[in-house]
Structure 1
Amino acid sequence: MPAETGPGDTAADAAPPPLDLIEDFVNTRHSDHDDLGAPRQVAEWFGSRALLAPGTAVSDAQAERARAVREGLRALIAENNVEPVASPRPDGLDPDARAGLAGLAHDLPLKLDVTRTPPRLVPATEAPLDAALAALLGVVVEAVAAGTWTRLKACREPSCRWAYYDHSRNRRRTWCSMELCGNRAKARAAHHRRTAPRP
């Protein structure tokens, strides 16, 4: 299933596979709703990406765990940004999310499967949703090794924070969409310049 597009995204803007899974996962949270708000939605999202078997039940606690992993990944990709933008609005990033992900990662171990060609990291747990979450963490490891991880970023616009893949040559893209979020930031900066007290 293709990743859901955000403000100004096109299929050409998407992260390359399998990193597009992380982009898609992080973008399940929107400013006005959450695609993973209920256990059924978590099961459907992971099932539609062949990360969970059809009909696998997900509990409230497991759904909460999936959302915690998502927010930890959001915090990680926000650190790939060149520089955060200053704004009076909340940016939607949980300051404790990275630490939370570090704790959860201990319970989502990966192991090296040398029976595959080439060898690869696979989940070391049999619990279905934990195995799916561990598989997502494996994608992060692969992206770091491939040098693509730092191109996955969070939009600098605090009211957005949509995950996007920076295809620019200099790796300095800052908004998911120049037409929407970039223009909002520029309009806000122009307003501050016009209304700032003159010396």
Structure 2
Amino acid sequence: MNERVAAPGGLALIEDLVNTLDVETGSDALGTPEGRAAFGLAEQDVPDALLLREALRTACLAHAGHRPPGGGQVPPLDRLLADAPLRVTVDAAGAAALRPATEPAGLTARVAAAIASAAADGTWARLKACEAEDCRWAYYDRSPAGRRRWCSMSVCGARAKMRTYRAKRA
């Protein structure tokens, strides 16, 4: 979508993962070798990555105040992250951070570390999913009030406002 500015820090990983599926066209980057390579995934890792992606989308929808479609077909995110081993690291300056316990870290552990970091700095709840049912694109809400509803005001927002306008005129 236009207007896209990447989410800060580790949230960019989560935003990119959620946005591997174009809901409108059905195109899924995780179905391609290039898309899998971008996340360090082997083909056999894809089913777990798909579950993780949709659980993340569900969390992003909740951040935006939306109920996910499908009535709970996606496992809860906390259950998927339960097996992501993290450890606390402290650098020479004394700054502490959560990091995956093993190297190279799997996708789930990297996502868990990103969520922990974002929760600590208060940015996790600003990663949202577009209200448009034919979009559901993840975006980082930079609005002062944190009440943005669409990934792009010029695309999804304009479509929604036009539908509302037409419904009132009918």
Same fold (TM over 0.5): yes
1:123 to 79, 100, 112: 100
RMSD: 2.5
Q: Is there any run of 5+ residues in structure 2 with no aligned partner, and where?
A: none
Identity of aligned residues (%): 38
Q: Tell which has more relative contact order, 1 or 2 (C-alpha 8 A, sep 6+).
A: 2
Change (3 A) 1:93 1:74: farther
Change (3 A) 1:144 1:93: farther
The question of 1:58 aligning with 2:42 is answered yes
Counterpart secondary structure, 1:97: coil
Counterpart secondary structure, 2:37: helix
The question of 1:34 aligning with 2:28 is answered yes
Task: State the 1:125 CA deviation.
Answer: 4.5
TM normalised by structure 2 equals 0.84
TM normalised by structure 1 equals 0.73
Amino acid in the other structure paired with 2:153: M
Cα distance in 1 for partners of 2:85, 2:14 equals: 17
Cα distance in 1 for partners of 2:15, 2:71 equals: 18
Aligned pairs (5 A) from 1:1-199: 7-10=1-4, 13-31=5-23, 32=25, 33-38=27-32, 40-41=33-34, 43-46=36-39, 52=40, 58-60=42-44, 62-81=45-64, 83-84=65-66, 95-99=72-76, 101-114=77-90, 117-125=94-102, 131-195=106-170
Task: State the 1:172 CA deviation.
Answer: 1.1
Amino acid in the other structure paired with 2:9: P
Cα distance in 1 for partners of 2:108, 2:134 equals: 27
State the number of aligned residues. Answer: 167
Q: Is there any run of 5+ residues in structure 1 with no aligned partner, and where?
A: 1-6, 47-51, 86-90
8 Å CA contact 1:68–1:97 kept in 2: the answer is: yes
Task: State the 1:104 CA deviation.
Answer: 2.0
Counterpart secondary structure, 1:36: helix
8 Å CA contact 2:127–2:141 kept in 1: the answer is: yes
